[in-house]
Homo-oligomer: A and B are copies of this chain.
Amino acid sequence: MRKTVIAASAAALFSMAVTAAAVKPEAAIHYRQSVYTMIGWNFVPMVDMIKNKTPWDGAEFSKNADRIAFLAPQLLEGFPEGSDKGADTEAKPEIWKNMDDFKSKMSDLVRETKALSDVAKAGDETKTREQFKKTAGACKSCHDKYRKEE
């Protein structure tokens, strides 16, 4: 039994090594940019409602918030070691020098997007607008520190 467990662990470790090796920096950069593109696609209609450019549509806002809450936790895996170079990227090299801080900011984003999804689902426009500010703040806090200015 013990032997089986060790063999299985070795296989798992080998698999992780293979998987890690298989993800090229270009692929990780392309992937994380895709997650941000999808977040942006869903963010824009929310901003339009927040700024009263379009009428408030609670169901639509909730749908977009739900998607962003699902996407946010998928960002971090797009920043593996070594993916600071390899393709055009707006990610500053500081990310990999301060990975604990970067992860903490990503956790903030995950928490605030989840809170936005929950409050939007509950249907209170005022509370949703308040939580939107916090969520946008979590985006900005990370962009200010870790995204290159264009």
Contacts and interface: CB of A to CB of B under 8 A. Distances in A.
Interface of A: 8, 11-12, 15, 18-19, 27, 30-31, 33-35, 37-38, 41, 45, 48, 53-55, 57, 67, 70, 74
Nearest to A49: B15
| Overall SS of chain A's interface | helix
A12 B67 contact: no
A53 B16 CA distance: 11
Contact of A34 (B18, B34, B45, B57): B34
Nearest to A11: B55
A146 to B, nearest CB: 20
A74 B70 CA distance: 12
A37 B15 CA distance: 22
